[in-house]
A = this chain, B = another copy of it.
């Protein structure tokens, strides 16, 4: 799906990609996803319409998605094999490639703000674990306890996955359980690009496993010259292919359009088993939202302020 007309300002978001089973999506749940996406689009659009920066817009949009329990980031993050939650996030500013990322974090209400704190209040790009927590506390980020982040569906999903492993039942291929992530990319009125990604990782993941989300160049990337990208999918493959930066490379050195570069990378990831998708915006405000699996929770909003959201390969709903 492509929005190939240039836009003066535009925001695209995703809430994860994978095998999204239609039979598990009740009408209420479907509407819940669309409503959650619309709220995030509205939050980011308000920033852009007010002349704010792409960086602030993607931050606000991701905060909204983190606050929404349906998505696997912040509140509603999945559980590790040990029944804990470990969150990763990254943000990148296309103006100067300033970037911040955190991994293995638990506590900040909005992990994306932890990533921004690393970018804006440290000399570093990537901080992990307790070191990241020290910075968050020092910066006074809002913290939450375990009950805030807990959601029954995620806990049930962990129990089901652990039971599946105990019983030796083959994986049902429900990649959505594995790949939940949220992200946003934007172009602001000044032509600046930014990207942000946040995730709880994979249900029943090993302690300390870090996927592509906080890896600059893999799950998150932005450069005003080319594009801003936020990915969601089988993180290990996205890291090995340097997926987000590969799109920049094809545009910068190969002269490809955003649509061709983003589509090509996602298609090739699919060939090697890297299920997932990504959202991307170029310097002129064109948007691409390719995915190689059955669905990706996604949305776009441009200058006219009409929120467009979709889940499967289907017409977008106008909000």
A186 at the binding interface (Cβ < 8 Å): no
Inter-chain contacts of A236 with B (CB < 8 A):
123-125
Choice from B131, B209, B221 contacting A242 with Cβ under 8 Å: B221
A98 at the binding interface (Cβ < 8 Å): yes
A205, closest chain B residue (CB)? B124
How far does the Cβ of A242 sit from chain B's closest Cβ, in whole Å? 4
- A131 & B253 in contact (Cβ 8 Å cutoff): no
How far does the Cβ of A270 sit from chain B's closest Cβ, in whole Å? 15
A21 at the binding interface (Cβ < 8 Å): no
Inter-chain contacts of A97 with B (CB < 8 A):
240-241
Considering only residues 41-58 of chain A, those with a C-beta below 8 Å from chain B are none
Inter-chain contacts of A123 with B (CB < 8 A):
236
Alpha-carbon distance A122/B128, docked complex (angstroms): 20
Query: Most chain-B CB neighbours within 10 Å: which of A126, A249, A252?
Result: A126
How far does the Cβ of A119 sit from chain B's closest Cβ, in whole Å? 10
A156 at the binding interface (Cβ < 8 Å): no
Contact with B along A128-148 (1 / 0, CB 8 A): 111110110000000000000
How far does the Cβ of A234 sit from chain B's closest Cβ, in whole Å? 10
Inter-chain contacts of A241 with B (CB < 8 A):
97
- B239 & A127 in contact (Cβ 8 Å cutoff): no
- A216 & B218 in contact (Cβ 8 Å cutoff): yes
- A98 & B215 in contact (Cβ 8 Å cutoff): no
- A207 & B124 in contact (Cβ 8 Å cutoff): no
Nearest 7 CB-CB pairs, A to B?
A131-B208, A249-B249, A253-B253, A131-B207, A253-B254, A217-B242, A242-B245
Give residues in A with beta carbon < 8 Å to B: 92, 97-99, 103-104, 122-132, 134-135, 206-211, 215-218, 221, 235-236, 239-242, 245-246, 248-250, 252-254
Q: A123-B236, A134-B207, A216-B218 are in contact. List 12 more A-B contacts (CB 8 A).
A: A103-B128, A103-B210, A104-B129, A125-B240, A127-B209, A128-B129, A134-B206, A216-B240, A217-B242, A249-B249, A249-B252, A253-B253
27 contacts between A and B (CB under 8 A): A92-B240, A99-B240, A103-B128, A103-B210, A104-B129, A123-B236, A124-B209, A125-B235, A126-B215, A128-B128, A128-B129, A129-B208, A131-B206, A131-B207, A131-B208, A134-B206, A134-B207, A215-B216, A216-B240, A217-B242, A242-B242, A245-B245, A245-B249, A248-B249, A249-B252, A252-B253, A254-B254
